[in-house]
Structures are given as C-alpha cells and as structure tokens.
Amino acid sequence: MGKRRVYSEEEIAKTLVLPGEGQLFGKVIGLYGFGWFSVMCSDGKVRNCRVRGKLRRRIWVKMGDIVLVEPWPFEERKGEILFRYTIGQVEYLIDNKYIEKSLVEDP
C-alpha cells in the first residue's frame, strides 16, 4: 500500500471542476443500485441521479460524497452526476465559499 499524496491548494485549484450553466452541487444521501443515487442538491431539491456513462467505471460514488449534478432539462426530479469531489477539494470549496458547510455536514 502506497503513501497518500498531499496536494497543495494550487494543484487542487487546477484540477477543480466548478459548476457551469445549469449545474449545481449536491450530496449523496441514498444508493439505489445500477448507477442511480439519491442526491440532495444545493437548491434544496432531492433528485434521482445517475453517473453519466463516460464516468461509470472511473469514479466510485459513496454515501455522503459531494458531487456535481446537472438536472435533466426535460425532467426536473432527475439528473446526471458529472464529477465527485475529494475531501481536499471539498475543503477548498468551503474555504472559498463555493458551497455552504451545512451541505457537507450530517444533520
């Protein structure tokens, strides 16, 4: 087992994916199976989201992970998970006020 690499803020900022037009942050609150998850989004809505096909075998999403969600334009209650943030990236987002600490914390 190797050592964990510690990333600097500059490295985190370079690789960080921020939300674009129509995208928002969310927290995984439930697992359905077959690539579907229940996500509490930053706009206060709970959406059923799936990992997009390009990333299906590349990222592993767990309960409590912070993800980037793009709601479907034709069905508001569903969406796509575009990116999963690491712990260091989440701390960077909180420090730079992209997301609220209340989204990350368990109720």
Q: How far apart are CA 64 and CA 27, in angstroms?
A: 6
> What's the pTM?
0.85
Tens of pLDDT along 30-86?
A: 999 888 999 999 999 999 999 987 777 777 888 999 999 999 999 999 999 999 998
Identify residue 61 by its one-letter amino acid code: V
| Inter-residue contact 25 to 49 (CB < 8 Å) | no
DSSP reduced 3-state for 1: coil
Whether the Cβ atoms of residue 37 and residue 31 lie closer than 8 Å to each other: yes
Check: CB of residue 92 under 8 Å from CB of residue 9.
yes
Q: What is the pLDDT of residue 104?
A: 84
Q: Tell me, which fold does domain 9-104 have in CATH?
A: OB fold (Dihydrolipoamide Acetyltransferase, E2P) (2.40.50)
